Amino acid sequence: MTPEELDKTFEDAVERINAHTEPFPADFLLRLYAYYKKATNNYERPSSRKPIINAFKTNALFQIKDITTEEAKETYIELVNNYFLYRK
């Protein structure tokens, strides 16, 4: 996949998630959050009002600290595709 194709596929996956109206499982959201932040090179600190949520988000980011932006995009796309493929 070319970098342009990867970017387009990633953007499509983000749109698919944003258009979904049902709630997502919390663990899935944390993984999406971490991979999205890494994929978009967004290094802002988590900004939830609840410290425990910030701790979970920080932990999720820490767990993927050694992957590339491209790997983050690919994993995000895979997570989204698998979620919609296997959800009940």
**HEC letters along the chain:** CCHHHHHHHHHHHHHHHHHCCCCCCHHHHHHHHHHHHHHCCCCCCCCCCCHHHHHHHHHHHHHCCCCCHHHHHHHHHHHHHHHHHHCC
Residue 2 pLDDT:
96
What is the model's pTM?
A: 0.92
Residue 47 pLDDT:
85
Domains of the chain as residue ranges with CATH: 3-86 (1.20.80.10)
* Whether 88 contacts 57, CB under 8 Å: no
Amino acid symbol at 63: Q
Q: Show pLDDT as tens, one digit a residue, over the chain (88 residues).
A: 899 999 999 999 999 999 999 999 999 999 999 999 999 999 888 888 999 999 999 999 999 999 999 999 999 999 999 999 987 5
Residue 53 pLDDT:
92
Residue 88 pLDDT:
53
